[in-house]
Every structure is written in C-alpha cells, then in structure tokens.
A = this chain, B = another copy of it.
C-alpha cells in the first residue's frame, strides 16, 4: 500500500465536473457575497475543503478536480492529510494557537523539540534556522542577516561596535547607519512582494507597479535549450554569459552588492532552471567578492523536484550562506550554518513573534512524513513516469508542449502564446484538472508529493483531450 492509499482511502478515483461554467453557479453566488468584504477578482472558484481529499480539490458546486496546482505549490501532502490532522489536534498545537508566544522573549518548554523537528528537514550543510511568516518575510529576514554580516565584516569584525555616526545617521535613514548596500537578483526572479523583496522581484510589472523600490541590480538568468542533455554546449555558453554579467554588476553597481539571491528554478518567472555549474560558479563568485549567497527555495523546496531542496542537485561547496523557505513547508524562514549569521547585536533581527509555532508544528510533521514514507523516491519515480508520457505528447503536439522541462514532478512547458496557454488551462479545468500557469505562456505542474502514476494517467488523459480541442 502506498502512503497515498493509506492516508486517503476515500480519495476520489477520477475527477467529476458537473457544471458547464467554472466557477459554477454556487461558487459564483458565494463569490459575489464574499466580494462585499474581499477582493475576489483573482479567485478561481470557491472550495469545499471539507470534501477535498488527497490530490483532489472539490468546489462549492461539487466539482471534483485533480489538483496539479496545490494552492500555488504550497500543499505538500494533499488535502485532509491524517498525519497533519493529528498534529493539528495535538496539545502542543492548541497551546501554540491559544497562547501564541513571543518566541524571542518567552519561548515555551516545547519549543526546543518543535525546532529540532523542523531542523530535521534542513538542507545538507545547514544547522540553524530563523523563522518568518511567509516567503517574502523569509527573504527580507535573510537580507537583514546578510546586511548585518556584511557590515560587521566591513567594520572589521563582530567585535567592533557601531560608531556614533552610525547610531545617529541611522535614525535619519542615512548612511553609514543605514548603508547604501544592494541585493543582486535576476531578471524574471520572484522573491515576494514587500518592498525589499519586491525590489529583487522582477517577473511581472503587476507585482511591482506604483511601489517605491530600492535601486538594486538584476543580472540575467540563463535561458536554456531543452532537453538539457542534448544542449550541454550551448547551455554552458549561456551560463558563462550570465556569470560575466553577474560579476560585472558586483564590480560596478554603485551601491555595493552585499548579497545575491537566486531561485534554483525560477518558478513564477517561467520555470527557468539553473545548472549545477551555474549555481556552483555563483558560490565561487560570491566568495571571491565577499557577497552573501542566498538561495530562495520558497517554491522549489520540500521535495517536488526530487530532492528535499532543489539546490542540493548542485552540491554547492561550501554550501550557500542562507537558504529561504516557505510554501509547502507551511512554516517560513531561512536555514544557515555559520553562527556569524546570528546578528552581532541581540534584538537586531527580531520581532514580536519571531515565527509561528503552529506553522512550525505542521512543517515539522510534513518533513517527518516525507522522510518516514520515503516520498522523495516516489516523487522521482512518478516524475520519470510523467515526463515520459509528456515527452510522447510533445512529439504529437510540438507546438503546444515546447521546451518541456523539469525535475521529478516539478515540470513545465510553453505554449505559443499567453492566450493559448490560458485557453488550455480553462479547458483542463473543464476536463477535471486544476493547473496553474507561470510567466507569459508557460504551464507549471505543481502536484503534491503524494501524486502517483494513477494521477499522472488521469492528468495525461485530460491534457491530451484538452490539447486535441485547442
């Protein structure tokens, strides 16, 4: 018995779509009511989470979709997972919700064991964690750790205290106390939508329009030809072209580059992959130029690429300085291993809650299930199966499955245009599959880690039917 069968004995065996329109009439009615209080323009449909199960999401009209999007890639194990329900009903969860502690000042007796469980999911080479509330928050907290570290080095080390000039100018938002430093990111990157995370985000105007931004640089992210094994030479050239741009920006950008942040696969930006060579070369460049190396695993982390953390494919040596996470782990934050990233001054990287213990309990449990049930082996196996089927479909429909790419079940392909992609997504929904897009004209598959061959078959059948009607 697979984990999926054991965990979800009542999982539907196939999608059922009963309404001609999606959202259906009941969803529309409920959305109209909700729109009195909430911006419902981006809503797909109204969900019935009580009835959703495993890899299937049910809407208010009773339509049952195979979910290959999973809450924007943020559901790891499937709906109404029994292990998470158990964690949600535990006494430590009740305490976390009812007596939510200010963890930095008043940690609870159970916090050490909660953190220890969280840390069991850390990437290879990472031993510490600092918690945040979301992916954007995690990235900004990581920037803070990076800036403190960078400035301490500039001042001559952690034993050198801030100058009076720094103490005074910082209160006026001026250098040197508030230094003119930058974080380098990449075009098409997505790292969140607050003001510093928004300044490193560079995928779509709507994420950034009307918001003041820091004048921080965007390098170019390699744009590969697929399949990778057939285009090694030109992809390596593309890596080198982009690496030269990175080094040039580090050397010339007016505000010194204190940190570099990169997604191992740019997800929102179109599922652009970075090679182990590229990721290791960035390690070498950042070490050479004294830049903090941050890997953003908010969307790529927690198993869907076939490794717990996608950058582990690159075996980066020494490991990246800070690795950020959120989404499928439910709890957010950054992993690190160098104690120098604990800030020089207590209360420097700090806030009221310092994380969310209820999310940490869920995250720790997710990591435990992945390990105990060996879900990564399954994800790799199902990913191969799915990719094989998709490759065959791509031969039949080369216009509609361009640049097919992926690791395990973390797969994407391009259509000819955004309009065509949107039509495909709408048709897929009518054929019982909830799927998401990314960038201008890409489709991204983001199933849970309990997605099996039987689900892949259903998805492939729906995709083929949808493609035939395009």
Are B206 and A95 in contact, CB atoms less than 8 angstroms apart?
Answer: no
Q: Does A272 contact B (CB under 8 A)?
A: no
Please state if A109 and B192 are interface contacts (CB–CB under 8 Å): no
B351 touching A106, Cβ below 8 Å: no
Residues on B with beta carbons closer than 8 Å to the beta carbon of A105: 42-44, 71-72
List B contacts of A342 (CB < 8 A).
39
Q: A170-B208, A209-B170, A210-B147 are in contact. Are A104 and B43 (CB under 8 A)?
A: yes
A218 to B179, CA, bound (A): 18
In the bound complex, residues from chain B placing their C-beta under 8 Å from that of A326 are 352
Stretch of A83-91, A242-250, A377-385 with 4 or more beta carbons under 8 angstroms from chain B: A83-91
Closest chain-B Cβ to A119's Cβ sits at a distance in Å of 6
- CB of A208 within 8 A of CB of B178, answer yes
Check B215–A174 contact: CB distance below 8 A: yes
Q: Given A49-B101, A178-B208 in contact, is the A137-B147 Cβ separation under 8 Å? A: no
A39-B346 contact in complex given A45-B106, A46-B108, A107-B34, C-beta closer than 8 Å: yes
Indicate if the CB atoms of B196 and A115 lie closer than 8 Å.
no
- List CB contacts (< 8 Å) of A51-87 with chain B: 52, 57, 60, 71-72, 74-75, 79-81, 84-85, 87
Contacts A81-B98, A94-B85, A105-B72 given; indicate if A209 touches B112 (C-beta within 8 A): no
B37 touches A116 (CB 8 A): yes
The answer to the question of A193 belonging to the interface, with a C-beta cut-off of 8 Å to chain B, is: yes
Question: Does residue A443 face the partner (Cβ distance < 8 Å to B)?
Answer: no
Whether B162 and A205, one on each chain, are in contact in the complex, defined by CB atoms closer than 8 angstroms, is: yes
* A439: Cβ under 8 A from any B Cβ: no
Which residues in B have their C-beta under 8 angstroms from that of A75? 99-100
Chain B CB within 8 A of A400 CB: no
Q: How large is the interface on A (under 10, 10 to 19, 20 to 34, 35 or more residues)?
A: 35 or more
**Is A12 positioned at the interface, with any CB of B under 8 Å from its CB?**
no
When the two chains form their complex, are residues B106 and A44 in contact, meaning their CB atoms are under 8 A apart? yes
Q: Is A206 a contact of B115 with CB atoms below 8 Å?
A: no
The smallest C-beta distance from A29 to any residue of chain B, in angstroms, reads: 11
Instruction: Select A106's contact among B71, B111, B194, B218, beta carbons within 8 Å.
Output: B71
* Residues on the B chain within 8 Å of A93, using CB: 88, 97
Contacts of A177 in B (CB 8 A): 205, 208-210
Residue A211, interface by CB 8 Å:
yes
Q: Do A194 and B37 touch (CB < 8 A)?
A: no
Minimum CB distance partner of A70 in chain B: B102
| Residues in B whose Cβ lies below 8 Å from that of A100 | 71, 74-75, 330, 362
> Given contacts A34-B111, A52-B99, A88-B93, are A348 and B42 in contact (CB under 8 A)?
no
Q: In the bound complex, how far is the Cα of B353 from the Cα of A362, in angstroms?
A: 16
Interface residue? A277 (CB, 8 A): no
Q: Do residues A42 and B346 form an inter-chain contact, with CB atoms below 8 A?
A: yes
A102 contacts across to B, CB distance below 8 A: 71-72, 74
Residues of A within 8 A of B (CB): 30, 33-34, 37-50, 52, 57, 60, 71-72, 74-75, 79-81, 84-85, 87-89, 91, 93-95, 97-112, 115-116, 119, 128-130, 133-137, 140, 143-144, 147-148, 150-152, 162, 166-167, 170-174, 177-182, 187, 192-196, 199, 202, 205-216, 218, 255, 326-327, 330, 342-343, 345-353, 356, 358, 362
- 7 A-B pairs with CB atoms under 8 Å apart are A33-B112, A42-B347, A43-B106, A79-B98, A171-B202, A174-B213, A177-B209
